[in-house]
């Protein structure tokens, strides 16, 4: 990891910007390499992630690992973080205020990793990223797999929204859709 990511981790580690900090076991900052070409953004840590302090290490993480493997990548090749870095109680949806207070950290991650492709996983990450870059809004069922090109002062990069991997746990038909959309990410690279 570059020194910049380590410095950012130090800044984030004791965060108490919102009430989620009171209930967490561990803050889940991110995983992978800051040299990554692809940045994945999930929703929030779940029970396993809160215990282990790493993103996507539970059931949704197994699906993510499988999808990465199918396009010839593993975790060490990418960077993975979340919209909120602490587990919401009982895995409820993150609230607007929690997202507002936490996403400054995501913005810093994006600057440091400087990826060629940003992959928001699920509706919360997709709404945040499309709004951040002025790309409008829409449901994930319409937007998944679409490729958005961004050219701004931060550079040139693509955004390819995906269903959240956990969606395939509840609806196995989505596994094929996710596989196809992950292939799109690898084509874009
Ligand atoms: N789901 C997420 O969105 N993020 C994680 O880190 C784990 C599960």
pLDDT for residue 2: 60
pLDDT, tens digit (0-9, with 9 covering 90-100), for 24-68: 999 999 999 999 999 999 999 999 999 999 999 999 999 999 999
pTM: 0.97
- Pocket lining: 88 vs ligand 1, CB cutoff 6 Å: no
Burial class (CB in 10 A: 0-12, 13-18, 19+), 174: buried
In Å, how far are 42, 104, 134, 138, 161 from 80, measured between CA atoms?
Answer: 8, 16, 23, 23, 14
Find out whether 87 and 24 touch, Cβ atoms under 8 Å.
Answer: yes
pLDDT digit string, tens, across residues 120-165? 999 999 999 999 999 999 999 999 999 999 999 989 999 999 999 9
The string of pLDDT tens digits covering residues 59-115 is 999 999 999 999 999 999 999 999 999 999 999 999 999 999 999 999 999 999 999
In short, whether 163's Cβ falls inside 6 Å of ligand 1 is no
4: pLDDT strictly greater than 80: yes
User: What is d(CA 66, CA 72) in angstroms, rounded to the nearest whole number?
Assistant: 10
Verify whether ligand 1 is closer than 6 Å to residue 49 (CB atom). Answer: yes
Rounded to the nearest angstrom, the distance between the alpha carbon of 134 and the centre of ligand 1 is: 25
Q: What is the distance in A from the centroid of ligand 1 to the CA of 44? A: 5
Instruction: For domain 2-188, give the fold.
Output: Uracil-DNA Glycosylase, subunit E (3.40.470)
In the chain, where the domains are located: 2-188
CA-nearest of 70, 103, 68, 100 to 85 is 103
């Amino acid at each position: 990891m570059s020194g910049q990511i380590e410095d950012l981790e130090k800044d984030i580690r004791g965060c108490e910007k919102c009430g989620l900090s009171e209930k967490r076991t561990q803050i889940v900052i991110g995983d992978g390499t800051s040299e990554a070409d692809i940045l994945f953004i999930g929703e929030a840590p779940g029970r396993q992630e809160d215990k282990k302090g790493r993103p996507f290490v539970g059931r949704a993480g197994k699906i993510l690992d499988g999808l990465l493997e199918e396009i010839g990548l593993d975790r060490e090749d990418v960077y993975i973080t979340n919209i909120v870095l602490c587990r919401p109680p009982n895995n409820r949806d993150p609230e607007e205020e929690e997202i507002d207070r936490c996403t400054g950290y995501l913005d810093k991650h994006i600057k440091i990793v400087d990826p060629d492709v940003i992959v928001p996983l699920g509706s919360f990450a997709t709404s945040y990223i499309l709004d951040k870059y002025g790309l409008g809004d829409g449901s994930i069922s319409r937007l998944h797999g679409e490729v958005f090109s961004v050219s701004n002062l931060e550079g040139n990069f693509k955004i390819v929204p995906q269903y959240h991997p956990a969606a395939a746990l509840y609806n196995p038909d989505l596994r094929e859709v996710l596989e196809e959309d992950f292939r799109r990410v690898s084509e874009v690279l």
